[in-house]
């Protein structure tokens, strides 16, 4: 079942520097939700708070009715959260298939001792997960690369592999951090189709951080615009693109005045 994500009054401070101020919004189950804003707006910092990589200084983060603020990334995985990163962190000397299977580590039975001793139920589970990972790669156009080493693939393909790895955990909440960054136009179009398919076929809530407004406009139900760590606007992508405050935040007041 797709998860609901609710943030209320989230602040993040590092020493005397305030990175996020009183950020709040709700993402309904099954929505595709965009988080946008200029460089330095706090988007990735907020993602890091949601995914457990940063601990907010104050506020509330809930998945469904469970308070998860301050939980570690491994605990967040237990709540059904998976994420990708701006710069994919793959095991470059391992195969694409092995990288994707890493996303299912929380689904293996037993614990480290069972895994190291290769108990029969672990072996059976690994075989099933291998078949699932191969199918996932095929569905996302990467079946041909399954047995290639990750370091033989391009940056754009690394992003596809990382997405497959995230999906192997069967998430209820999927965070995509700048998935279109560095991709040529043709691959952005393919990414849009992939996320659309996920929205149609998977019971998952998707939150996207992205600069590519075409992708945001094509995919999202609603967006939140951040500026200097605070929420500037919540609405549709079209409303965000036409709002004078958002235009000013992106291109600067002087340029916005000149364009008016």
Judge contact between 133 and 100, C-beta under 8 A.
yes
Looking at residue 258, its pLDDT comes to: 40
Per-residue pLDDT tens digits of the chain, which is 260 residues long:
899 999 999 999 998 899 999 999 999 999 999 999 888 899 999 999 999 999 999 999 999 999 999 899 989 988 999 999 888 888 888 999 999 988 887 766 555 444 454 556 667 777 888 889 999 999 888 999 999 999 999 888 899 999 999 999 899 999 999 988 888 888 888 888 888 888 888 899 999 998 778 889 999 999 999 999 999 999 999 999 899 998 888 866 444 444 34
| 139: phi then psi, degrees, rounded to nearest 5 | -65, -30
CATH number of 1-80+173-260: 3.40.50.300
CB crowding 77-86: b at 16 or more within 10 Å, else e: bebbbbbbbe
Crossing angle of helices 185-201 and 155-167, rounded to 10°? 10
Q: What is the rounded CA–CA span in Å between residue 130 and residue 100?
A: 9
Looking at residue 108, its pLDDT comes to: 61
Looking at residue 16, its pLDDT comes to: 86
H-helix segments, 16-119:
43-51, 73-78, 96-101, 112-116
Looking at residue 74, its pLDDT comes to: 87
Looking at residue 30, its pLDDT comes to: 94
Looking at residue 107, its pLDDT comes to: 66
Report strand pairing: 5-14 vs 17-27.
Answer: antiparallel
Domain boundaries, the chain: 1-80+173-260, 89-170
pTM over cut 0.85: yes
Judge contact between 20 and 44, C-beta under 8 A.
no
Looking at residue 119, its pLDDT comes to: 55
Looking at residue 212, its pLDDT comes to: 78
- Tell me whether domains 1-80+173-260 and 89-170 share a fold: yes
Give the pair of three-digit tokens for residue 20. Answer: 């996020």
Give the pair of three-digit tokens for residue 134. Answer: 């191969």
CATH number of 89-170: 3.40.50.300
């Amino acid at each position: 079942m797709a998860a609901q994500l609710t943030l209320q009054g989230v602040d993040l401070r590092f020493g005397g520097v305030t990175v996020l101020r009183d950020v709040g919004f709700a993402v309904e189950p099954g929505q595709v939700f965009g988080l946008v804003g200029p460089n330095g707006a706090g988007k990735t910092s907020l993602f890091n708070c949601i995914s457990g990589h940063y601990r907010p200084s104050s506020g509330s983060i809930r998945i469904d009715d469970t308070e998860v603020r301050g939980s570690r990334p491994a605990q967040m995985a237990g709540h059904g959260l998976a994420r990708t990163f701006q710069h994919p962190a793959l095991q470059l000397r391992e195969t694409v298939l092995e990288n994707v299977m890493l996303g299912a580590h929380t689904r293996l039975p037993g614990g480290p001792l069972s895994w190291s001793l290769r108990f029969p139920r672990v072996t059976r589970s690994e075989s099933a997960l291998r078949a699932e990972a191969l199918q996932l790669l095929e569905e996302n156009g990467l079946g041909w690369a399954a047995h290639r080493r990750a370091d033989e693939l391009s940056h754009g393909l690394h992003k596809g592999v990382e997405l497959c790895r995230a999906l192997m955990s069967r998430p209820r909440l999927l965070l995509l951090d700048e998935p279109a960054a560095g991709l040529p136009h043709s691959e952005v179009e393919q990414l849009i189709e992939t996320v659309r398919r996920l929205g149609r076929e998977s019971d998952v809530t998707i939150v996207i951080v992205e600069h590519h407004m075409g992708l945001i406009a094509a995919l999202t139900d609603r967006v939140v615009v951040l500026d200097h760590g605070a929420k500037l606007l919540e609405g549709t992508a079209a409303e965000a693109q036409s709002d004078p405050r958002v235009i000013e935040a992106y291109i600067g007041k002087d340029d916005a005045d000149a364009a008016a």
